[in-house]
Chains A and B, each alone.
Chain A
Amino acid sequence: MAFVKAKGGGIFKLSISGQCPDWIPVNPNEHKNVWVYIEIEKGHMHEASIQLLGKAKEVAGKVNSKLVAIMIGNNLGSLLNEPGMYGADEVIYVEGQEFETYYAIIYGEVMVQLAMKYKPEAFLIAGTMRGRELAPYIANHLRTGITADLTMIEVDEKTKEIILIRPPFGAWQLAHIRTLRRRPVMGSVRPNVFPLPAKDTNRKAKITQEKAGELYEPGLELLEREEIKESEEKPIEKAEVIVSGGKGLGSKEGFEIIKELAEQLHGTYAGSRKAVDMGWIQHDRQVGQTGKTVRPNLYVAVAISGAAQHVFGIREAKRIIAINSDPNAPIFDNADYGVVGDYRQIIPELIKLIDEAKNAKK
């Protein structure tokens, strides 16, 4: 993305006319409707795509246009009815045996063809790992801009322009990104930032079948797919209680007591980027701007300073408890309950008390 200094915080005007002659000509005014690609996982709509439908519905309303869900696959069947229940006005789908296996190049090419035909104003894709792989490919074929991992979507009240918002380098700030001269406005959208919309089983979208034109040979072949064993370690996106550890734990062993407290609270463990950098936990357990956004009922931050990039990932947490030995740690500014002290002394005590409280109940 091109960083241009904004004057006085207002919308930036760019004094560039014309555009790259190699690009397919685009007239932004001809582009209508908000598109969402529906990722299908194990025969269901991916939760991140459903969350995105909810937000995209709101955006479509603000720009007075329709919300269109794009589906590709083999034997989609009753799945085609689902986007409507979450707010889609229309479903456009392409079906066939050649789409049995997901390949970014094939699915991407189909969506490029659809977008050339229908000219959507915006095209949003859930930022799952697959979505992050797919979205820039489509955008590039359309020679349009794309914003990665966006966390907010706004519509300019006057111009009705869709503006995508993401955290830039310093995380207390958000970057408002405009797409000039090109359409669709494209973005991958961070999972878990928007809540699941309500489901209305009576609501129906108009369903349209499309045919794919000529497709590339993908050049790759899926040989094996294996589900990663879901150990008893729950993924952090799904957890209602998360106990999270930072650099201040001092060592990998520090996570033992973090896990024990997590277990006592029927939750799971996570950590800061420094904890990941030290190799104490896996990257898929990192919370924050370059890790995951979580929305638990309770987040316990242990020996985590509370850097902006970390706190960014816990904005949606209902309650935050902080345990830190430094009374000036910024995490206390972002906590509901904070205690100043050494986690090595406090947590074993707390585990003991929780244990006693549980036993007393029995």
Chain B
Amino acid sequence: MGLNIILLFKYVPNTNTVNVDPNTGTLVREGVPSVVNPHDLDAAELALELREKYGGKITAMIMAPPNAMKGIEFLMGMGVDEGVLITDRAYGGADTLATSYVLAAGIRTIEHYDLIITGQETLDSSTAHIGAQLASWLKLPYVYYVTEASLNDGTLIVKRQLESYTEKYRVKLPALITVLMHSHQPRPVTLENKLRAVIKKPIKMLTNNDLKLNIMCTGLRGSPTVVAKTEFIAKIPRKKEILKDKSPQETAAWLLSKLKEEGFLN
């Protein structure tokens, strides 16, 4: 039968190459290249493994400005089949409610799907909201923090990991899962896949002309939450007794005396 999978991902500033401005404490984002959210690569890898085992098709989907096309191309380089880029000025400034609203509409344009897969969270906002919100919009069963998935008798069997438990569920399809971060080893992009992506360009663009959503429910207007202000975190006063230019022996002896003083050696 094959599995039709929708893979949701985000295209985020690459924080590994970002520097923090020592004066303001904020990230210097200018000129920083974006990447596919690393935690979504775990999701992509799981999707690709499922397709290899059961056949089917993977469609990568994102709501973002047009430059996120590069993110779709990257995922296609890994082996993803198709892409959908949802982009419209009316969708800008969205919080997670308004984002998931648009994504749900985008998903509804896909005739038949069995499984929606998202990453656990994004690097740049780390909310882990979108999965549950989509499950709510689309009325689907959902499981977070999945580490393994397989098919059994037309249902999905998943394993997931919480703080102190692992759990195994049987899930009716269609369903939504989010993939535990660091749980997979994403495969590299291959030249062959990349060429296929460039030549076939199976990427669809959707705007509000296609989705026809009420713009009172999208973007900034459809977002109940706003950042009212930002504020610097007050620093916690520390003793800041610093020892330098001493031999390792002297240094260790000084540390030992501090440990004793503070009562950490009892």
Question: Which residues does chain A contribute within 8 Å of B264, judged by CB atoms?
Answer: 241, 265, 297-298, 319
Which residues of chain A (1-58) have a CB below 8 Å from chain B?
1-4, 6, 9-12, 14, 16, 18-23
Asked, given contacts A298-B262, A350-B255, whether A129 binds B163 with beta carbons under 8 Å apart, the answer is: yes
Interface: A85 (CB within 8 A): no
Instruction: Provide the bound-state CA to CA distance between A237 and B134, in Å.
Output: 31
Q: Is the CB of A175 within 8 A of B227?
A: yes
Asked, given contacts A223-B169, A336-B240, A358-B265, whether A341 binds B94 with beta carbons under 8 Å apart, the answer is: no
Q: Is the CB of A129 within 8 A of B240?
A: no
Interface: A194 (CB within 8 A): no
Asked, given contacts A169-B27, A297-B264, A349-B248, whether A219 binds B240 with beta carbons under 8 Å apart, the answer is: no
Interface: B124 (CB within 8 A): yes
Interface: A136 (CB within 8 A): yes
Instruction: Provide the bound-state CA to CA distance between A325 and B210, in Å.
Output: 58
Closest to B258 in A: A337
Instruction: Provide the bound-state CA to CA distance between A190 and B132, in Å.
Output: 18
Interface: A225 (CB within 8 A): yes
Question: Which residues does chain B contribute within 8 Å of A209, judged by CB atoms?
Answer: none
Contact of B223 among A1, A221, A241 (CB under 8 A): A1
Contact of A225 among B165, B221, B226, B227 (CB under 8 A): B165
Closest to B174 in A: A219
Min CB gap B168→A, angstroms: 4
Contact of A2 among B22, B27, B166, B226 (CB under 8 A): B226
Which residues of chain B (7-28) have a CB below 8 Å from chain A?
16, 20-22, 24-27
Min CB gap A307→B, angstroms: 6
Interface: A74 (CB within 8 A): no
Interface: B242 (CB within 8 A): yes
Question: Which residues does chain B contribute within 8 Å of A170, judged by CB atoms?
Answer: 20-21, 24-27
Interface: A64 (CB within 8 A): no
Stretch at the interface among B62-70, B199-207, B229-237: B229-237
Stretch at the interface among B46-54, B107-115, B135-143: B135-143
Contact of A172 among B26, B94, B238, B258 (CB under 8 A): B26
Stretch at the interface among B72-80, B82-90, B188-196, B212-220: B212-220
Closest to A286 in B: B182
Interface: A176 (CB within 8 A): yes
Interface: B243 (CB within 8 A): yes
Interface: A171 (CB within 8 A): yes
Min CB gap A276→B, angstroms: 7
Interface: B172 (CB within 8 A): yes
Asked, given contacts A22-B214, A137-B135, A182-B224, whether A148 binds B241 with beta carbons under 8 Å apart, the answer is: no
Interface: A62 (CB within 8 A): no
Question: Which residues does chain A contribute within 8 Å of B248, judged by CB atoms?
Answer: 341-342, 345-346, 349
Q: Is the CB of B167 within 8 A of A346?
A: no
Instruction: Provide the bound-state CA to CA distance between A350 and B63, in Å.
Output: 53
A interface bracket (residues with beta carbon within 8 Å of B): 35 or more
Which residues of chain A (335-356) have a CB below 8 Å from chain B?
335-342, 345-347, 349-350, 352-354
Q: Is the CB of B225 within 8 A of A2?
A: yes
Q: Is the CB of B137 within 8 A of A335?
A: no
Interface: B164 (CB within 8 A): yes
Query: Number of contacts between A and B (CB, 8 Å)?
Result: 311
Quick one: which of B93, B95, B143, B243 has the most chain A CB within 10 A?
B95
Interface membership of chain A positions 158-175, coded 1 if the CB is closer than 8 angstroms to chain B and 0 otherwise: 000001000111111111
Min CB gap B235→A, angstroms: 7
Q: Is the CB of B249 within 8 A of A349?
A: yes
Question: Which residues does chain B contribute within 8 Å of A290, judged by CB atoms?
Answer: 123, 126
Closest to B136 in A: A140
Contact of A4 among B136, B143, B220 (CB under 8 A): B220
Instruction: Provide the bound-state CA to CA distance between A338 and B171, in Å.
Output: 52
Which residues of chain B (140-183) have a CB below 8 Å from chain A?
140-145, 157, 161-172, 175, 181-182
Instruction: Provide the bound-state CA to CA distance between A261 and B258, in Å.
Output: 15
Contact of B227 among A146, A176, A228 (CB under 8 A): A176
Interface: B252 (CB within 8 A): yes
Q: Is the CB of B128 within 8 A of A145?
A: no
Question: Which residues does chain A contribute within 8 Å of B27, judged by CB atoms?
Answer: 169-170
Interface: A224 (CB within 8 A): yes
Closest to A134 in B: B132
Question: Which residues does chain A contribute within 8 Å of B169, judged by CB atoms?
Answer: 220-223
Closest to B16 in A: A277
Min CB gap A116→B, angstroms: 14
Instruction: Provide the bound-state CA to CA distance between A33 and B216, in Å.
Output: 29
Q: Is the CB of B25 within 8 A of A177?
A: no
Closest to B129 in A: A136
Interface membership of chain A positions 46-88, coded 1 if the CB is closer than 8 angstroms to chain B and 0 otherwise: 0000000000000000000000000000000000000000000
* Smallest CB-CB A-B distances: 7 pairs: A172-B25, A219-B141, A170-B26, A145-B224, A145-B225, A349-B252, A20-B217
Using A265-B259, A277-B16 as known contacts, list a sample of 20 further A-B pairs with CB atoms less than 8 Å apart, ordered by residue number in A.
A1-B225, A2-B95, A2-B98, A128-B163, A148-B128, A169-B27, A170-B26, A223-B157, A223-B169, A282-B182, A298-B262, A308-B20, A308-B25, A315-B236, A333-B238, A333-B240, A337-B243, A338-B242, A339-B254, A341-B244
- Can you spell out 10 A-B residue pairs with CB atoms less than 8 angstroms apart? A1-B226, A4-B93, A105-B142, A143-B224, A145-B223, A148-B127, A173-B26, A330-B22, A333-B235, A353-B256
B-side residues, CB < 8 A to A, are 16, 20-22, 24-27, 93-98, 100, 123-133, 135-137, 139-145, 157, 161-172, 175, 181-182, 214, 216-217, 220-233, 235-236, 238-246, 248-249, 251-256, 258-260, 262, 264-265
